[in-house]
Amino acid sequence: MSLHFVRTVVAGSLLAMPAVAAPVTLGEQFFRKDWAAACDNSLACEAVSMAPDGDLADKTWVRIARDSGADTVSVKIGLSEPKGDRYRLLIDGRLVDSGMLSKGEWAIEAAPSNALRVARAIGRGRKMVILGSDGSKLGERSLNGSAAALIHIDFLQNRARTRNALFLAGRRTLQPKSMPLPVIAAQRIGKAGAVPDAGTIIAVVEKSQCPAEQLAVTENSAFSLGKKGGVNKVLILVGCGAGAYNMTMAPYVGSSTDGRRWSFTPARFDYPEKPDEGMGGAVLLSNPEWDAANQQLNSFHKGRGLGDCGRSANYVWDGNQFRLVEATGIDECNGARSWMTLWRAKVEFTD
């Protein structure tokens, strides 16, 4: 039985997507040697480095990003153990950039005025080396495949052969492609309503299609989805099994007018369109968590314990169903340090 967020989805209808009530089509992932690239439904794109031949000893990672229709480029580099206060970035032995090291996830961020030049140098090079102020090596990364990843983005954003292409520059007139983000209208939950008692939750668990060896009832959770039109709504997450680093759960939505008698149905999602096979209409989520402040149901699935591959999906409760707000992922387990964005949407709450 496959989880919905680990399915491979192609972006065949990506460019025909309207801004409102848009069907969910995740961005296609592109892999070439030690690099990967992807664009989301707005054609905001990124290229990320991976570890050559699965060598995870050096945890240096690179992310090059550009929004659709934007002139600016972002080049960020993470280091496992940044030392000192300055860096020098060399590509094939040639100094390309230098500056102050930053704190946080990204130790190096190229200045906006220099980022496009750095990105092009990455595409032309074979190996990147980061040196500290004392000349010690802070990290390195293979650039094999970076040119293909940048060219992939140039074509999707219709920048290929233009003056401000990431790599494939030319004199063609720039006509960048840009798609507006879809807008999700969601009813604000407001004050929390009633939730079912333990006996009612146990009954839902026992009637579910989860295997008999599922997690104990104490591992299943109920969360209020508020009260609208005199009807209490509640989300129940039923444990359906666990592995070394992933826990599978099935979400159900309950309705009650008096807070005592409840009826339950599998939670509805706009993505995926079909429930998981053999689950009686329920969708399986991996490691789900309910975020009451944003009324979002967040899930992620690790492809392996290192977390260098997998998928994530964040959904907002719109008053009737769960709608996909953001999806990220990287399908090849090869040392990537950040998952690429494959889908985004805006949320507008109404009372």
Assign 177 a pLDDT band (cuts: 50, 70, 90).
Answer: confident
Q: So what's the pLDDT on residue 213?
A: 56
* Lowest-pLDDT range of 119-133, 190-204, 213-227, 250-264: 213-227
Average pLDDT over residues 201-219: 72
Q: So what's the pLDDT on residue 212?
A: 59
CB atoms within 10 A of CB 246: 17
Check: CB of residue 196 under 8 Å from CB of residue 264: no
**68-87: per-residue pLDDT in tens?**
888 899 999 999 888 899 99
Residue 2 predicted with pLDDT over 70: no
Q: So what's the pLDDT on residue 343?
A: 98
Q: So what's the pLDDT on residue 210?
A: 83
Residue 134 predicted with pLDDT over 50: yes
Would you list the domain boundaries of the chain? 49-145, 184-350
Assign 326 a pLDDT band (cuts: 50, 70, 90).
Answer: very high
Cα torsion through 204, 209, 214, 216, rounded to 10 = 0
Query: CB-based burial of residue 348 (10 Å sphere; 0-12 exposed, 13-18 middle, 19+ buried)?
Result: exposed
Closest CA to 118 of 158, 82, 149, 74: 74
Report the mean per-residue pLDDT for the chain: 88
Q: So what's the pLDDT on residue 20?
A: 46
Q: So what's the pLDDT on residue 135?
A: 94
Residue 30 predicted with pLDDT over 70: yes
Q: Which CATH number fits domain 49-145: 2.60.40, 1.10.287, 2.30.29, 1.10.3470?
A: 2.60.40
Q: Whole-model pTM?
A: 0.88
Q: Is the dihedral of CA 149, 286, 261, 278 positive or negative?
A: positive
- Highest average pLDDT, of 40-44, 194-198, 270-274, comes from 40-44
Assign 111 a pLDDT band (cuts: 50, 70, 90).
Answer: very high
Work out the angle at residue 38's Cα, subtended by the Cα atoms of residues 3 and 10, and round it to the nearest 5 degrees.
Answer: 50
Q: So what's the pLDDT on residue 74?
A: 98
Q: So what's the pLDDT on residue 8?
A: 30
Question: Which DSSP string do the residues of 246-257 spell out, in sequence order?
Answer: -EEEEEEEEEES
- According to DSSP, the residues that pair with 131 across neighbouring strands are 88, 137
Residue 261 predicted with pLDDT over 70: yes
